[in-house]
A and B are shown apart, each in its own frame.
Chain A
């Protein structure tokens, strides 16, 4: 149903694209009057400062797929076709044929539509004006040249659209009519696809690509090439190619992350106004608010049932579009999935103490390598597609599918992220969110354990690895406090030194840490004269140790994840307590946070 849904999307689009037209940059314009006399020279419409018109003003122009044959377009084409200009390396005899074919088409147009702009353009050629137009200095072989006749763009006129539809239909049609596979109506059928999707929108394609293509004998039923056994009418063929191009090129309907091996486009049919992308990627508060309040208010329930979410993931294979995934779901299910997604990944931010939701692209980004900044500067995430990013190649799409369609996460993701945390020594809310998400959706984790994995610290969660993570966080905090009070510089913190090892085997680190703890407590109590703080830390540690029958030693994957989660949430909890105490809302026995560690805007978390 992919093609049908694309045609439906094209039908709901407000922009009406004439048959066999597509939007392209037209760089050069030539104004002529009704008698074909040029009104000035060629006008360059390119604007280097505007990304949309860097190569010329974008316009709807007659266009069908051209391969090796000579095939002129109507009233707008390259300099070779329109004026017979030669560029370096081209064959003059071929260009002469192109020029002749273009003029012949103009003559046909003038004869077929005498009331159109065709006669004016034909007169331009007949009277020899074309020979007097010389190529501009910065003319490029691929630049399009278009005619304006008395202030009207010649290819825009209804007569031009009508004539071109006939010409292009004859070129691309199969010469037979029949019931179309897409719309189910009797229509003139296509021989090949009339339009292609530009290469830049199809990752992996080496040239412009077609969604339906059977150009080898082995591709078709009974070794028949082209659309012989796939009856598709011209109207549907144009619509779904136009719709897919429009979707893939629209950042509101497709992904734009570089370095991923596919591009995902989505759209909603049926009247619902939800934008799933805005909900999970842009985290638009109003969208999320509407989403969460939706079931309670009951608004649009019936509309959600009839509306459909459609998404297609495409890659390229030379000149063919590869459909990697195709999904169609009722909007009500998508909304449920998004709510579950937020429930599963929301996590407390260790700096603000607030529960945060994370963008899907950010979750994909933090699964990659983190490069520590030089000389104490802020670190950066390795860019998508960069060398050594160490990020699963299709992670973004897998996560997006998990968010919108509730599909399982990649099985290796949890192990991958834990490894990255160990290697990078960095744990921030996004990585903690990935850990919580992977745990909550882990196929073997019992349901009661899953429910205990709350976004903030859950003191009732007594899983040994989780408690061990909490103990580790308290020990690290104690060490920082001792050195801060003593006004000593701490080159490497307890967590920086032992976090990786503790993830693998909490027992070794906590047992040896316990000995250090005694020394730190003693300093705090004695020379540093902070007995209250010492008691507070000791009480916390005792409360935690008493929950452990045995300190876990050989940690399985979920235990490692629980340890990290416990560590992150305990740290966040202590910071929240301090922030609340500083605002006089709550009493705490913890020492205050030093002022000099306030996070910067780019630093979402801190290093473990």
Chain B
């Protein structure tokens, strides 16, 4: 139990590592409203993994988020931006022969974002089969980097525009958030067997300011035999 929250232990019996992040704004787009974007009210596990990987990542390890504590009440704001609907084909992009023409393909899109957010992320570090160090070594390396404030790239909260501050967890109390959020992305897997990535989802619920993330999600779109995928 950490801060009054019962957390799933790792297979080795360890408690998760904790990183606290905050920012002036955040945008965790819901998959059904991702064009005229509407944010989930709290951070998603995939966004939390993005933050942790910005701080420390190696091919021998990956993060599995256990829980996210919500430290500030949910407040929203709305912005509209000019974006582009133009995409340069990969081959042309690699050659550098074509640039994205934003002015000719302007696409104005609205976003309902979150204002003034802070979260405590609890996550386990898992090591791959080819890892040459014990899991504790990677965990400690992450902790050292968090203490120093070191990162490979500045972490962000959902979208690159909203960069995040991160640091060692403190005893900030959780916000009184209790909400059914609906289906939320758990993780994305690319096992190479299909052109499409495999997505896992879970029914998200914040209870007393804690979003508990199950060990595994469910796959939403299950191809049925004989149907076009």
Contacts and interface: CB of A to CB of B under 8 A. Distances in A.
A binds B: yes
Interface of A: 1-4, 174-182, 184, 186, 189, 211-214, 216-223, 229-232, 315, 317, 320-326, 328
A175 B225 CA distance: 11
Nearest to A228: B196
B181 A1 contact: yes
Contacts of B140: none
B87 A218 contact: yes
A229 B31 contact: yes
Contacts of B183: 181-182, 184
B78 A324 contact: yes
B220 interface: yes
A324 B110 contact: yes
B201 interface: yes
A214 B34 CA distance: 8
Contacts of B181: 1
B228 A317 contact: no
Nearest to A222: B197
Nearest to B33: A323
Interface string B1-43: 0000000000000000000000000000001111110100000
Contacts of A230: 31-32, 34
Contacts of B222: 177-179, 186
B148 to A, nearest CB: 34
Contacts of A4: 182
B218 interface: yes
B54 interface: no
A69 to B, nearest CB: 19
Given A184-B203, A229-B199, A2 B33 contact: yes
B110 A214 contact: no
B35 to A, nearest CB: 5
A45 to B, nearest CB: 37
Interface in B186-229: 197, 199, 201, 203, 218-224, 227-229
Contacts of B85: 216-219
Given A176-B224, A178-B221, A178-B222, A325 B112 contact: yes
Nearest to A186: B222
Contact of B36 (A184, A218, A229, A321): A321
Given A324-B112, A326-B112, A175 B227 contact: yes
A212 B87 contact: no
A62 B218 CA distance: 35
A186 B78 CA distance: 34
A182 B30 CA distance: 12
B78 A325 contact: yes
Contact of A218 (B31, B38, B84): B84
Nearest to B76: A325
Contact of B38 (A2, A176, A180): A2
A495 B157 CA distance: 55
Given A317-B108, A325-B78, A176 B228 contact: yes
B38 A231 contact: no
A184 B86 CA distance: 34
Contacts of A217: 85, 87
B147 interface: no
Contacts of B224: 176-178
Contacts of A176: 221, 223-224, 227-229
B220 A214 contact: no
B107 to A, nearest CB: 7
A377 to B, nearest CB: 42
Given A179-B219, A218-B84, 9 more contacts: A2-B33, A177-B224, A179-B201, A216-B85, A219-B35, A223-B87, A232-B32, A315-B110, A317-B108
A220 B37 CA distance: 12
Contacts of B87: 217-218, 223
A317 B36 contact: yes
Contacts of B220: 178-181, 231
Given A184-B183, A325-B78, A214 B33 contact: no
Contacts of A328: 179
10 contacts: A176-B228, A176-B229, A177-B222, A178-B220, A178-B224, A179-B201, A184-B203, A217-B87, A323-B36, A323-B112
B31 A181 contact: yes
- Chain A CB within 10 Å, residue with most, of B31, B85, B112: B31
A181 B203 contact: no
Contacts of A221: 31, 34
A174 B76 CA distance: 34
B228 A175 contact: yes
Contacts of B219: 179
B144 interface: no
Contacts of B86: 218
Contacts of B32: 3, 181-182, 212, 230, 232
B83 interface: yes
Contacts of B218: 179
B198 to A, nearest CB: 11
Nearest to B110: A322
A214 B35 contact: yes
A2 B181 CA distance: 9
Nearest to A316: B36
Contact of B34 (A219, A222, A322, A324): A219
Contacts of B180: 1
Nearest to A324: B78
Contacts of A325: 76, 78, 112
B109 interface: yes
Contacts of B179: 328
B182 A178 contact: no
- Chain B CB within 10 Å, residue with most, of A211, A214, A322: A322
A181 B84 contact: no
A179 B183 CA distance: 11
B221 A231 contact: yes
Contacts of A3: 32, 182
Nearest to B38: A323
Contacts of B76: 325
A1 B222 CA distance: 22
Contacts of A1: 180-182
Given A184-B183, A325-B76, A218 B107 contact: yes
